[in-house]
Each structure stands twice: as C-alpha cells, then as structure tokens.
C-alpha cells in the first residue's frame, strides 16, 4: 500500500494514513487503500485498532480539495458515498477504534476521527469543518456525527462559522477525551488499546454494538438490545473464566488472557 501503513502489534494494530506531503488529505486512492486495509484486519487476533496520521503536523487535513475541485454533481455524490462507506465500515467495525489525532483534523479529517469510538489528540491538534468556506457541506458524515457528539448547538456553530478549534477547546466540548504532548500521544493510544485488548473480546464487541446501535433507538428498544447482548455473553468461555477467576479467592493465581474473539 502506498498511502496506508498497517502494523499489528500483538492484540492491537495501528493504521497510519500516510500521505504526509499533502498533510494526509484523503483522495480516492487513500480511500481505496483504507477500505482494503480495514477489510484485511484479522479480527480473530486484533482486538483494538488505532488510526493515526503520518508525520508530526497533521492527522488528516480533509478530503483532497484538488481532486474535488473539478467534480460534477454526480461525481461529487459518488465521492461522498465512497468516503461515507469507508467511514461507516470503520464505525461499525466489531472491535473498538481509537483515533490518535496528531495535528490537523479538518473536514474529512475531523469526520474520520468521529467515525472512531474514542478520540485522543496531541496538543497541536486542530479540529474543524471548514467546508462552507469552500462552497460545500461536510460530506463524510460531519453534519450527523458532530451534532451527536457535541450537541446540535455547538455543531451548528462550528459548521456554520467554519472556525477551527484547538485541542483544549476540543477537550472542553467533549470532542476528544484527552490531550497529550506529541511524543506521548501514540504511547497513550497504544496503552489504551492494549488495556482494551486485555478485556473479554466478545463482551467488548457487544458493548460497542449496544452503545452504537442503542443510540439510534428509543430507550425501550435500546434496553432490550442491551439485554440481548448481555445474555449473549453467558455460556462463553470468557464469561465463565472471568467470573470464576473473581470467585476464586486464591490470591496467587494470575489472570490468563481471554481467548474468544
């Protein structure tokens, strides 16, 4: 792959968008490679994915403006669909995805980070949806995911004004969970990924499904979904082992890694 690097490190993996010369802007080739890379993740062994950008300056500086500038209406819609399909694939990946936002996360960059389960960023990160300044709307889910994450009022302000916000403000409004120095960011993401990967994989996946799908339901339906996913954890080897380990009062015993994926 030319524009996407992928490295599995035991039970978690790091996907790096690698088009540093254009601040990792997303063109069709990058989206294609992202799609193939996500399809190729070994979900039998990878329990958490980290998404980051190459270099020190940018996570993803948006969709490629050069490529978009000459599109017709039909091509624009097709480009939007391509991005949306890839981002949705990331969002619905059975395992948790952490965005380690290492700089600019503008337009499609902010949008891809919002397709991830958890966002953490470096102190030089900048978030924004500058599309209306370019004569377009956010096209990779920004109008939908930003409003769900930070509330409609704040999302509307960011999108209508096209104003970028820095890491501290992103933290304040709940767009990111934590801010680190550039050097600390990836180690922090890896520590979190390894911590998630230590927990029972079926239970973690069911939590992701319950939260994501439950948010689109009314509370009565959502609670039923939770009941079903809770029930589905029982009789698994991991549930039996996790509870037996707790109930076993032998303090010398070391907890074995959970097995099921």
Which residues of the shown chain bind ligand DAK in the complex (CB under 6 A)? 22-23, 25, 61-66, 76, 79-80, 83, 104, 106-108, 130-131, 134, 136, 138-140
Of residues 85 and 227, the one with the C-beta less far from ligand DAK = 85
Give the containing element (helix H, strand E) for 179.
Answer: strand 178-180
- Residues with a catalytic annotation lie at 111, 131
Give the nearest distance from C-beta 147 to ligand DAK in angstroms: 16
Residue 140 φ/ψ, nearest 5 degrees? -115, 45
Number of neighbouring beta carbons within 10 Å of residue 243: 11
Of residues 62 and 201, the one with the C-beta less far from ligand DAK = 62
Q: Identify the CA nearest to 32 among candidates 89, 99, 107, 83.
A: 83
Of residues 90 and 192, the one with the C-beta less far from ligand DAK = 90
Give the nearest distance from C-beta 237 to ligand DAK in angstroms: 43
Of residues 23 and 197, the one with the C-beta less far from ligand DAK = 23
Partners of 97 in the beta sheet? 49
CB 141 within 8 A of CB 80: no
Give the nearest distance from C-beta 193 to ligand DAK in angstroms: 26
Rounded-to-integer distance, Cα 19 and Cα 27, Å: 10
In total, the chain counts a number of residues equal to: 261
Give the nearest distance from C-beta 194 to ligand DAK in angstroms: 31
Give the nearest distance from C-beta 182 to ligand DAK in angstroms: 15
CB 245 within 8 A of CB 253: yes
Of residues 4 and 23, the one with the C-beta less far from ligand DAK = 23
- The two three-digit tokens of residue 112, written as one number: 């891809």
Q: Identify the CA nearest to 51 among candidates 6, 3, 84.
A: 6
Rounded-to-integer distance, Cα 97 and Cα 193, Å: 8
Measured from each CB, the residue nearest to ligand DAK is 139
Q: Identify the CA nearest to 176 among candidates 143, 150, 210.
A: 150
């Amino acid at each position: 792959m030319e524009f996407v690097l992928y490295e599995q490190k035991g039970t978690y993996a790091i996907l790096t968008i690698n088009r540093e010369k254009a601040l990792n802007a997303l063109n069709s080739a990058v989206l294609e490679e992202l799609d193939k890379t996500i399809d190729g993740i070994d979900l039998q062994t990878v329990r958490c994915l980290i998404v980051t950008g190459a270099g020190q300056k940018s996570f993803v500086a948006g969709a490629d403006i050069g490529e978009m500038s000459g599109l017709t209406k039909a091509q624009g819609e097709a480009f939007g669909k391509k991005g949306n399909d890839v981002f949705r694939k990331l969002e619905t990946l059975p395992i948790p995805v952490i965005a380690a936002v290492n700089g600019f996360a503008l337009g499609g960059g902010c949008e891809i980070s919002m397709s991830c389960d958890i966002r953490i960023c470096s102190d030089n990160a900048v978030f924004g949806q500058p599309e209306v300044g370019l004569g377009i709307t956010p096209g990779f889910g920004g109008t939908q995911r930003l409003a769900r994450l930070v509330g409609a009022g704040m999302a509307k302000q960011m999108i209508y004004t096209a104003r970028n916000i820095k890491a501290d403000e992103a933290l304040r409004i709940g767009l990111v969970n934590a801010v680190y120095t550039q050097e600390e960011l990836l180690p922090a993401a890896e520590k979190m990924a390894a911590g998630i990967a230590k927990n029972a994989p079926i239970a973690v996946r069911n939590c992701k499904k319950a939260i994501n799908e439950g948010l689109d339901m009314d509370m009565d339906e959502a609670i039923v979904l939770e009941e079903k996913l809770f029930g589905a954890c029982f009789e698994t080897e991991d549930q039996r082992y996790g509870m037996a380990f707790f109930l076993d009062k032998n303090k010398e015993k070391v907890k074995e890694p959970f097995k099921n994926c």
